[in-house]
Structure 1
Amino acid sequence: MIDLRRFPRCPTRIKAYLPGSEEAYEVLNVSYKGCFIRTDKLIPLRKMVLFEIEIPEVGVIPVYGLVVHHGTEEQPGLGIEILDIERELLPVWNYYLKALLNIEEAKKAYQRYLKTSQKVENPQSG
């Protein structure tokens, strides 16, 4: 399957609040223009939705989006294309995404370190 996304996705565990529900739902991944919310709540495809994303230690950001898919049988949820974030809050979203991207790079760098340190600790005898 070809991934047609324009922006990289980052795994996360932030919370989302959907319309008509007091329950917090887990956001499994985000990008600059989308997110995937784990839920069994079905909002019709192509429906515009105003929901809130809560970023820990930052605050709640209202997001206007379009439901583009319902996930899979194994991973039900809502794939939402982000259409708009209030202009004053857009820098908050951008800083958060940049931080997540940096964390992903840190994870990759750490994994490279682990691979190279194992080679040094366990050199193969020739």
Structure 2
Amino acid sequence: MKMTAKRLTAQLVARRMEVAVVQKEIPAPALQMARELLFEIDSGRRLKGLEGHVRAVIATGFQSGGYAVAVAVSAKDLRGAVKSIRAVASLSEALGLGEDDSPAADSESETGPVDDNDADTNSDAE
């Protein structure tokens, strides 16, 4: 059976998530979500919105890792937090989600400068 890179299947998700759960490198909240998702898949239940569940695990992993970086008080804590973020990024890449879920891409659009001239330009065009 040949799987395409663009389509998430329960088989692909289970295989990649099992590795992440066994290695225990992703942050604890994402690890718990991954375990729950694996339980649902292993039970043979059909999951609606599988990609949404996977994206939630990835997003939680990035958020938890970012928080761990922010509260790190020692170099050891910081290294562990960065390692967990890398593990989440690796899982994301393995599942074919790529950079779509990276928190840096999301934060740039939210924290960028607001240009009020764009609103004026659009109203003049009408």
Q: Give the TM-score normalised by the residue count of structure 1.
A: 0.28
Greater RCO between the two (CA within 8 Å, min separation 6)?
2
More helix by share: 2
Q: Give the TM-score normalised by the residue count of structure 2.
A: 0.28
